[in-house]
Amino acid sequence: MFDVRLTAISEALLEYGKTIPPEVLLPTVIPEAAEIVAHDPYAFCIATCLDRGTKAEIIWTIPYDIKNALGHLDPFRIHNLSLDALARLFNHLPRHPRYINAAPRTLKELTRIVVEECAGDASRIWKGKRASEVKRTFESIYGVGPGIASMGILLIEKAFAVRFEDHWNMDIKPDVHTTRVLYRLGVSTEETVEAALEASRRMNPAFPGIVDSALWEIGRNWCRPNAPNCRRCPVEEVCGKIL
């Protein structure tokens, strides 16, 4: 791809990304749930670590459901719950993560880190840390892969006004939306995780993940798998329209 066209696509995505409010990136089924994940670092981390193959609106509402079921969202008290108790908790929630059998262990391991390494303050996972360190912490939790870890550090900057110094270590989350949009734009050679990561790094080597929110929103709202609404897409003018 010619550098001038790659630059035009990158700039269009960056401009659209500036218009996306942080709360749009944490969608919930219930308005009250949005307040919890946007202001409670522990709730934010719970949703992040459970985000595997479930609609965003569901996953970001689950911490609210857990709080309602327990009457609290206290990491010290949750730390004392057994895996069996956590399994019963998830089974009785009105909304479930896709991998419900893995969820208790994921929550247990996250909570251990928050309690034993962060003195109960989940924001210590990222305060004063580099993005690469935070990513390693997330990836150490059962079920959390590189994509979810990358999403987590990108959203931490958006939701908690944090600025990591090593932006070059922050990739996009190569999910179904971002990989599809990058391919259709003509930036990726294939609609794959590897091609999407390579394309975003080529566009913005100093901060590959900076286009993540724009790609995700475009994929959810306009560049859908079937019948994409190209006329409404904010980057339609620079799109390669590879369908």
**Domain end position, chosen among 150, 166, 182:** 166
The closest alpha carbon to 159, from 193, 133, 122, belongs to 122
| CA pair distance 194, 73, nearest whole angstrom | 37
Burial profile 43-77: b = 16 or more Cβ within 10 angstroms, e = fewer: bbbbbbbbbbebebebbbbbbbbbbeeeeebebee
Q: Domain count for the chain, please give it.
A: 2
Residues 75 and 177 in one domain: no
| Mean predicted lDDT score pLDDT of the chain | 95
Q: What is the pTM of this model?
A: 0.93
- Residue 72 has what pLDDT? 98
Range of the domain at 202: 3-22+171-238
Give residue-wise pLDDT tens across range 176-226: 999 999 999 999 999 999 999 999 999 999 999 999 999 999 999 999 999
Over pLDDT 70: what percentage of the chain? 99
Question: How does residue 152 score in pLDDT terms, banded at 50, 70 and 90?
Answer: very high
Residues 94 and 66 in one domain: yes
Residue 228 lies in a domain: yes
Residue 14, domain CATH: 1.10.1670.10
Residues 162 and 227 in one domain: no
- Residue 2 has what pLDDT? 58
Residues 158 and 77 in one domain: yes
Residues 50 and 135 in one domain: yes
**Domain end position, chosen among 144, 166, 188:** 166
Residues 82 and 199 in one domain: no
Q: Does pLDDT of 1 surpass 70?
A: no
Residue 35 lies in a domain: no
Residue 197 lies in a domain: yes
Place of tokens 């799109």: 239
Read off the amino acid at residue 170: M
Residues 160 and 233 in one domain: no
Residue 31 lies in a domain: no
Q: Does pLDDT of 121 surpass 80?
A: yes
Residues 62 and 154 in one domain: yes
Residue 225 lies in a domain: yes
Supply the DSSP string of 88-101, one letter for each residue: HHHHTSSS--S-TT
Residues 45 and 148 in one domain: yes
Residue 120, domain CATH: 1.10.340.30
Residues 68 and 101 in one domain: yes
Q: Where would I find the beta strands (DSSP E) of 50-209?
A: none
Cβ–Cβ under 8 Å, residues 180 and 192: no
Residues 98 and 62 in one domain: yes
Residue 75 lies in a domain: yes
Residue 243 lies in a domain: no
Residue 148 lies in a domain: yes
**Domain end position, chosen among 147, 166, 185:** 166
